[in-house]
């Protein structure tokens, strides 16, 4: 372990440190292969996506067992408030109404959490775009709860996980991203996203190490 990484992890595990787990967009429209046909996923990507969701679920279980708070960030696409710049970028029409193919439309099956569910007492934030911090009260709620650093996991690495981690870091949160608890719909894209996250945003880790860090501060 490098001296820098040793110092980074020592800061996270100092006495009294309060971590939280932030789960981003593990919803049916992003995690269920049955909803992802338009992406043309390879068998290898489907297998990695399945394994990633399994590991995220295991991390949620471990957090609850250790008393580490779990925070849920989910996309809620509201047809009454279409994301016009996204329409323009994907369809070329800024003024188009929200179509049925929009992911995670509020109230739809696609917006449901996939293979995991928030507990009644866990913090839950609905976002409109990529970042869990943009246009929400997530930062204020995390600070009010007294957390010190965040482990951010979910889907997808190059999009909503990246945007949420980027904003967290710029809002002064130390961020850890387990490389085995996020994924993209292309293996090369995922690797590139992890490189970018490590370069400018987060300490990369894995689920086993993160649980070990939590154990040091919850023992």
Segment 100-123, tens digit of pLDDT? 778 999 999 999 999 999 999 999
- Structural domains in the chain, sorted by start: 3-218 (3.40.50.850)
Burial of 160 (0-12, 13-18, 19+ CB in 10 A): buried
Burial of 56 (0-12, 13-18, 19+ CB in 10 A): buried
Give the angle subtended at the CA of 148 by the CAs of 142 and 149, to the nearest 5°: 90
The pLDDT, as a whole number, for residue 1 is 77
The pLDDT, as a whole number, for residue 83 is 84
What residues contact residue 192 under an 8 Å CB cut-off, 6+ apart?
158
In this model, does residue 97 exceed pLDDT 90?
Answer: no
Buried b vs exposed e over 105-127: b needs ≥16 C-beta within 10 Å?
A: beebebbebbebeeeeebbebbb
The pLDDT, as a whole number, for residue 76 is 96
Q: How far apart are CA 89 and CA 199, in angstroms?
A: 27
- Please say whether the beta carbons of 114 and 31 come within 8 A: yes
**Residue 110 region, left (φ>0) first, then alpha (ψ -120 to 50), else beta?**
alpha
């Amino acid at each position: 372990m490098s001296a820098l990484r040793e110092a980074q992890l020592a800061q996270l595990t100092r006495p009294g440190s309060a971590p939280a787990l932030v789960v981003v967009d593990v919803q049916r429209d992003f995690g269920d292969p049955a909803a992802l046909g338009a992406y043309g996923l390879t068998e290898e990507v489907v297998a990695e996506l399945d394994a990633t969701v399994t590991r995220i679920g295991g991390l949620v279980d471990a957090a609850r067992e250790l008393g580490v708070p779990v925070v849920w960030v989910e996309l809620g696409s509201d047809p009454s408030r279409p994301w016009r710049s996204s329409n323009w970028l994907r369809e070329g029409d800024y003024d188009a109404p929200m179509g049925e193919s929009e992911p995670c439309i509020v109230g739809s099956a696609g917006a449901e959490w996939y293979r995991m569910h928030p507990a009644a007492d866990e913090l839950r934030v609905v976002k409109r775009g990529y970042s869990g911090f943009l246009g929400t009260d997530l930062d204020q709620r995390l600070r009010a709860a007294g957390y010190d650093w965040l482990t951010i996991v979910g889907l997808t690495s190059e999009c909503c996980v990246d945007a949420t981690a980027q904003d967290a870091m710029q809002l002064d949160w130390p961020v850890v991203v387990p490389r085995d608890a996020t994924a993209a719909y292309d293996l090369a894209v995922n690797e590139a996203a992890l490189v970018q996250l490590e370069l400018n945003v987060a300490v990369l880790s894995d689920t086993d190490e993160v649980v070990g860090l939590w154990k040091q501060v919850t023992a």
